[in-house]
Amino acid sequence: MDGGARATSGEAAGAVGAVASPRSSSTWWAPAAVGWWIGVLFAAGSLCFVLGAAPGYVDAVGVATDGVTFFVGSLFFTVAAFLQYLEVVHAPRLPRGIGTTERRRSFSWEPQRVEWWAALVQLAGTLLFNVSTFDAMRGQLSATQANRLVWTPDALGSICFLVASGLAWADVGQAWWSWQPRNPSWRITALNLGGSMAFGVSAVASHVVPASDQPRNVALMNLGTFVGALCFLIGALLLLPERTRDAAQPQST
């Protein structure tokens, strides 16, 4: 896959992890629950990136269709990231049962909340990847154009996802390093952090060399995208049972 058609590196799934919200009891089919849509949309976007970076896919469908696959996946990620940001914004600030109704909002300024920063930075990253994958569908880009229109927003988006995943990891583990494999939320953030790292490697490898008009390392670029997307796909699917597991736990008053 050449630089003009390259997959973006960071549109991965659910860097923030599960956020408490109203839920229905079904794990795999709950279209009335926002949390269910977040998991499904992140999974759909991740699947697009797994497919787009899979060996032989671009040869089978062509560069144009491969580019569309990545762009559609990036749109899934942006919608999911926006819904996740709204869930963070709407999360209750007060304990249940104290008799106070909190006002619903669409936006907020809460720099003291780690999860708010993670959701906001993740959303910014998905928007940058929308730009990157859209420009990647343009044919006949020179090395300079590809690096400016595709690689630059891709690299910035990758940084956003690494930051968001790192914040989510630290928030769940209550430390910059932790080992809690029995904690479902920790497993999700660990997968997302690993996926962000893999996509970051892909971003570095995708920088187009002017002398050849080719990415620096095509094999590493595609491998990083494929492995990262697979991590995000698994993390997104784990969001679904995590959503219903939290709903089943008794709420303290």
Write down the pLDDT at residue 108: 84
Q: pLDDT tens string for the chain (253 positions)?
A: 443 334 433 333 455 554 544 445 688 899 999 999 999 999 999 999 999 999 999 999 999 999 999 999 999 999 999 999 999 998 876 555 554 455 666 778 889 999 999 999 999 999 999 999 999 999 889 999 999 999 999 999 999 999 999 999 999 999 999 999 999 999 999 999 999 999 999 999 999 999 998 999 999 999 999 999 999 999 999 999 988 876 555 544 4
Please give the backbone phi and psi of residue 101, each rounded to the nearest 5 degrees, phi first: -95, 125
Write down the pLDDT at residue 101: 52
For residues 7 and 30, give the distance between their C-alpha atoms in angstroms, rounded to a whole number.
31
What does the domain layout of the chain look like in residue ranges?
A: 3-92+109-248
Write down the pLDDT at residue 26: 84
The residues pairing with 209 across neighbouring beta strands, listed in sequence order, are 214
Write down the pLDDT at residue 102: 54
For residues 183 and 238, give the distance between their C-alpha atoms in angstroms, rounded to a whole number.
12
For residues 162 and 187, give the distance between their C-alpha atoms in angstroms, rounded to a whole number.
16
Read off the pTM: 0.85
Structure confidence by residue, pLDDT tens digits, 214-232:
999 999 999 999 999 999 9
The answer to whether the beta carbons of residues 8 and 202 sit under 8 Å apart is no
Write down the pLDDT at residue 91: 82
